[in-house]
Structure 1
Amino acid sequence: MSKIEVLLGEKRVFYPPEKLVQASNVKQWMDAHNIPDIETLHKRSQDIQWFWGEVEKDLVEWYTPYDKVLDDSNKPFFSWFTNAKYNIVHDALDRHIGTPTEDKIAYIFESEQGIVSKLTYLDMYHEVNRLANALKSLGVSKGDRVALFMPMIPALPIAMLACAKIGAIHLAVFSGFSAHSLQERINDSGAKILITADGFWRKGKQIDLKALAKEAVNKTDIKNTIVYQWANNDFPMGESDLLWHELIKDQPDVCETEVMDSNDTLFILYTSGTTGKPKGVVHVHGGYAVGIAMTLKWVFDIKPNDIWWCAADIGWITGHSYIVYAPLMLGVTSVLYEGAPAYPKPNRIWEMIARHNVTVFYTSPTSIRMHMRLGDEWTKRDDLSSLRLLGSVGEPINPEAWMWYYTTIGKSRCPIMDTWWQTETGNFVLTPLPLSPLKPGSVVGPLPGYGAKVNDAQGHPVEEEGGNLVLTNPWPSMLHTLYNEPERYVEHYWNEAGEFLSGDIARVDSDGYFWVQGRGDDVLNVSGHRIGNSEVESALVSHPKVSEAAVVGAPDDIKGESITAFVLLKMGVKTEDSLINELRNHVAEEIGKLARPDKIYFVDDLPKTRSGKIMRRVIRSLLLAKAVGDISTLANPEAIKEIEEAIVK
């Protein structure tokens, strides 16, 4: 890899209010452990056994204690809190019952149509227990996989918790995915039960989720599909279909929580890769619980009276960790929203912040850039004075968007916790703390207990230039393995030095601040969603008129990246304009609407290496009118002209 040019030279620094610093959860923890400053905290936290042993005391209740904080005798298969007996549902729900928290609001839910409902912790406990008992009545038991294909409604966290309660393993699939994508994940996991909904609303339109679910379960081993009636649309009941409300109506509202080992699997979440099928990332009960609870408590300084809104989708890791499990563990009230962020009016989310008195708000740079474009007039209509902390997640945030978020939404008084992490990490890794000086666009650095550096192509640490971001310490919430693919886990994520390969490009400036620059592999980042180039290419090639395709990303002011496809048609197929929409719709059917190419160019050749690999780097450089760099391995240099001519047509 050649040296990566550094274009960003951000010098502005913003300091948190002293009152916030002194009252912060992390400062209280430091004081309790006689740690005078952040530098000392980072130094002491590198004693992993001591640090995580102290951290977990404030966050989890084990059924039986662990033998050892970390067992690293079988690297890179790390075991945390070994031989402890535990179930994350104990901390998320069970231990709140019989305390004042049971009457506290767990979720303020708002539908896209504006209907607001509230569920207390006791409500959640009873609903989870009823569904857990219903699942047991269907023969679901410890270790069984249950697929979830649901919209952003309270039934989704209830379903996740019900699975975990009885020791079943949930795999949530983003409701924007296609039937094919759902089917692929069901088959890979061996799920026997699917929980879905009849439909939901998005930008005023009703999405027929049940129809997609019905299509997906063909050629799978799904025994029953449980349907939650949310949109109240008419749908034909299949022989194996069961209605959620009918299934749970006679079930008791008490259910014994399955006692698990700390390292038993909690869930599988599939993430896109550069080649082959999606990877089934495995997270376990114990270490995951400690990591997510610590990071939410420390980074976003969550207090008992906060109203927390993580405006992500539960179908992704952000929602798993910071809409479902960590907020419930901390006993906080969360906002849960079904719909689109600017519907029916551009100020929908600002209106909701004001209406529900949200104090801590966490969203994506895509959403921030979209609202920037809509104009400041829409941010001035609502009282945002309840906010005290802001956050960003999903992709790097450019300094201009950071400043707009800080000044326009936060009124220059709400520090921004710009977080970097992945499905594989389980929780925030590079992020500020409430006591950190901030640079617009920087994630500051690794949290206490973590280690990170930027390496050049030879594995040597570098400063002030781009390189490969690697993590140097194991951490409790790390992925346990890849489902049924331990060899792929070792090969894909670990280098010979025992460092975790993030796949991202970053740099460290002279002050030690980290700046994440984007993906180092061929994974697209569209509106915070990671989509494998190869998946989109495979979807295009599955069309009967297409012989080959190359997909690259281009910068997009709103989405972060837009998808551009270069397509070779089969001999005799005419390049008609109507075919572009046909291919876009085909990709939507194969993968999901979020993966539809924004632009499609028809070409007769694609630049390839001598081994036949498509050189996406060259194609992307041509698309962005940049120098293509080293093309010594290019087998067909005439293809460059082919791409150039297609772009300028």
Structure 2
Amino acid sequence: MASTDRYAELHAAHRWEVPDDFNIAHACCSRWASDRSRFALYWEDESGATSAHTFWDLQREANRLSNALAQLGIARSDKVALILPQRRETVVAHLAIYQMGAVAVPLSFLFGPDALQYRLDDSETKIAFVDPQSLANLASIRAALPHLAAVVGVAGASADGVTPYESLLAPAAPRFAPVATRASDPALIVYTSGTTGPPKGALMPHACLLGNLPGFVHSHDGFPQPGDLFWSPADWAWTGGLMDALLPTLYFGQPIVGYRGRFDPQRAFELIERYQIRNTFLFPTALKLMMKAFREPRRRFDVNLRSIMSAGEAVGTTVFAWAQQNLDVTINEMFGQTEMNYIVGNSHALWPAKPGSMGRPYPGHRIAVIDEAGDA
């Protein structure tokens, strides 16, 4: 816990630095790709398959995909849906779409036909990427989507009218001239959960990544530090997985672990041990499952976590104390929504963190409670 409270100092000193021109793909990959030994992604799935990829690897593949998508007619501001789990191709597709000036529409691979149809129709998506799990749900509604011109199958997803990912990339050149984008240009549409009506598509500019960084850095106690390695089971289709894990980690030129498979407490600890993961974002439900399964995890697993961020609901005093006593980590809780993410939270090394408290406005943010007249 913080021995001194530096919050006021940090909040007062913060200044936003948002360039006129900014592109997520450049910030998260191409500027790091010249170092061919710099790893960006370690990946595995529940079958035991593994792979590792440098920023250079991802950039070359993203260039080929950008060229291939251009051949299919994708241009600036066109929508491309990614109905994919944590996979290499998911990362590559995001980069390829952003550097074209197109708009990514990440959608959960767990969505059923009705949920997919609403979002794909509302966003006027032109191309959708699917894996074997999401293909079946898309196939049943494809005829009802007039804007959808093509479907790309990843990881062996195949059917009539589906272009295999490998076939799409095969003739494409590995060099691509990125489109210049303003920081305010649209980059992605993330849909809300729809708890107060139909899901709403939140259109986010490239600069939204910069807006997430103060919260991300502070919630992981000064990320990045030497030896940091990130993993989160959060779906990369949600703001939590995309903006609280994948993109900010890559922004700092740091590697992330991707895992395709259902969450399981033992697998989670095995993953943390195997890769010596140092930083993670875990929902309170996941933390509770891990605590229930392994009250003293370090008796069985060699874990050396440095930071844990949690959000979605209150962690609670029991889990908070368990992490301190058994993982030697103070959990930094955070609050954010699809439309306004990483605005309030903790950074226990810099200001006191209380279990169950969502914290204070992160540097760069001012929060107020207003009445019906709009007065604070």
Q: TM-score, normalised by structure 1?
A: 0.55
How far did 1:179 drift?
1.3
User: Which stretch shows the higher mean deviation, 134-143 or 374-383?
Assistant: 374-383
Match of 2:216 in 1: 296
> What do the CA deviations read for 1:580-599 (whole angstroms, capped 9, x no partner)?
xxxxxxxxxxxxxxxxxxxx
1:438 aligned partner, one-letter code:
A
Match of 2:150 in 1: 224
Match of 2:362 in 1: 447
Note if 1:267 corresponds to 2:188.
yes
Q: For 1:119, what is the secondary structure of its paired residue? A: strand
Q: 1:129·1:162 contact (CA, 8 Å) conserved in 2?
A: yes
> What do the CA deviations read for 1:551-572 (whole angstroms, capped 9, x no partner)?
xxxxxxxxxxxxxxxxxxxxxx
5+ unaligned residues in a row in structure 2: which ranges?
A: none
2:84 aligned partner, one-letter code:
M
> What do the CA deviations read for 1:90-148 (whole angstroms, capped 9, x no partner)?
111121132x4x42110111111122211111011111111111100101000101111
Q: For 2:314, what is the secondary structure of its paired residue? A: coil
Change (3 A) 1:374 1:137: same
Match of 1:42 in 2: 11
Q: For 2:38 and 2:13, how far apart are their aligned partners in 1?
A: 36
Match of 1:88 in 2: 24
Note if 1:362 corresponds to 2:326.
no
Match of 2:63 in 1: 129
Aligned length: 373
User: Which stretch shows the higher mean deviation, 89-98 or 131-140?
Assistant: 89-98
Q: 1:350·1:379 contact (CA, 8 Å) conserved in 2?
A: no
Q: For 1:218 and 1:172, how far apart are their aligned partners in 2?
A: 21
How far did 1:44 drift?
4.4
Q: For 1:110, what is the secondary structure of its paired residue? A: strand
Q: For 2:291 and 2:33, how far apart are their aligned partners in 1?
A: 43
Q: 2:43·2:51 contact (CA, 8 Å) conserved in 1?
A: yes
2:257 aligned partner, one-letter code:
V
Counterparts of 1:227-246 in structure 2 under 5 Å?
Answer: 227-228=153-154, 230=155, 232=156, 235-238=158-161, 241-246=162-167
1:404 aligned partner, one-letter code:
W
Note if 1:404 corresponds to 2:306.
no
Match of 1:107 in 2: 41
Q: For 1:496 and 1:262, how far apart are their aligned partners in 2?
A: 33
Q: For 2:245 and 2:56, how far apart are their aligned partners in 1?
A: 17
Q: CA RMSD in A?
A: 2.2
Note if 1:318 corresponds to 2:287.
no
Match of 1:278 in 2: 199
Q: For 1:44 and 1:497, how far apart are their aligned partners in 2?
A: 28
Q: 1:419·1:432 contact (CA, 8 Å) conserved in 2?
A: no
Q: For 2:334 and 2:9, how far apart are their aligned partners in 1?
A: 22
Q: 2:343·2:365 contact (CA, 8 Å) conserved in 1?
A: no
Q: 1:365·1:396 contact (CA, 8 Å) conserved in 2?
A: yes
Q: For 1:337, what is the secondary structure of its paired residue? A: strand
Q: For 1:158 and 1:428, how far apart are their aligned partners in 2?
A: 28
Note if 1:251 corresponds to 2:172.
yes
Q: 1:432·1:443 contact (CA, 8 Å) conserved in 2?
A: no
Q: Aligned to 2:228, which of 284, 294, 306?
A: 306
Q: For 1:222 and 1:137, how far apart are their aligned partners in 2?
A: 15
> What do the CA deviations read for 1:400-425 (whole angstroms, capped 9, x no partner)?
222223222x2xx3221111111111
Q: For 1:280 and 1:433, how far apart are their aligned partners in 2?
A: 34
Change (3 A) 1:149 1:262: same
Note if 1:164 corresponds to 2:98.
yes
Match of 1:117 in 2: 51
Match of 1:544 in 2: none
1:497 aligned partner, one-letter code:
G
Q: 2:245·2:281 contact (CA, 8 Å) conserved in 1?
A: no
Note if 1:336 corresponds to 2:261.
no
Higher relative contact order, structure no. (Cα contacts within 8 Å, ≥ 6 residues apart)? 2
Note if 1:497 corresponds to 2:354.
no
Match of 2:112 in 1: 178
Q: 1:390·1:415 contact (CA, 8 Å) conserved in 2?
A: yes
Change (3 A) 1:262 1:403: same
Q: 1:89·1:257 contact (CA, 8 Å) conserved in 2?
A: no
How far did 1:274 drift?
4.0
1:293 aligned partner, one-letter code:
L
Note if 1:434 corresponds to 2:349.
yes
Q: For 2:16, what is the secondary structure of its paired residue? A: helix
How far did 1:272 drift?
2.5
Q: For 1:103, what is the secondary structure of its paired residue? A: coil
Q: For 2:175, what is the secondary structure of its paired residue? A: coil
Q: For 2:213 and 2:368, how far apart are their aligned partners in 1?
A: 24
Q: 2:353·2:359 contact (CA, 8 Å) conserved in 1?
A: yes
Q: 1:153·1:338 contact (CA, 8 Å) conserved in 2?
A: yes
Counterparts of 1:484-523 in structure 2 under 5 Å?
Answer: 496-497=373-374
Q: Aligned to 1:348, which of 267, 280, 285?
A: 267
Q: 2:44·2:259 contact (CA, 8 Å) conserved in 1?
A: yes
Q: For 2:107 and 2:263, how far apart are their aligned partners in 1?
A: 21
Q: Aligned to 2:334, which of 419, 428, 432?
A: 419
How far did 1:254 drift?
1.3
Change (3 A) 1:296 1:139: same
Flag the structure with larger Rg: 1
Q: For 2:47 and 2:356, how far apart are their aligned partners in 1?
A: 35
Match of 1:573 in 2: none
Q: TM-score, normalised by structure 2?
A: 0.92
Note if 1:52 corresponds to 2:9.
no
Q: For 2:302 and 2:343, how far apart are their aligned partners in 1?
A: 29
Change (3 A) 1:304 1:129: farther
Sequence identity of aligned pairs in percent? 27
Match of 2:130 in 1: 196
Match of 1:215 in 2: 140
Q: For 1:96, what is the secondary structure of its paired residue? A: coil
Note if 1:391 corresponds to 2:309.
yes
Q: Aligned to 2:85, which of 146, 151, 154?
A: 151
Q: For 2:293 and 2:330, how far apart are their aligned partners in 1?
A: 23
Q: 1:432·1:445 contact (CA, 8 Å) conserved in 2?
A: no
> What do the CA deviations read for 1:342-390 (whole angstroms, capped 9, x no partner)?
1xxx411111111101111220001111223334266632111x21112
Change (3 A) 1:379 1:394: farther
Q: For 2:10 and 2:252, how far apart are their aligned partners in 1?
A: 23
Q: For 2:373 and 2:174, how far apart are their aligned partners in 1?
A: 51
Q: For 1:215 and 1:279, how far apart are their aligned partners in 2?
A: 23
Q: 1:149·1:213 contact (CA, 8 Å) conserved in 2?
A: no
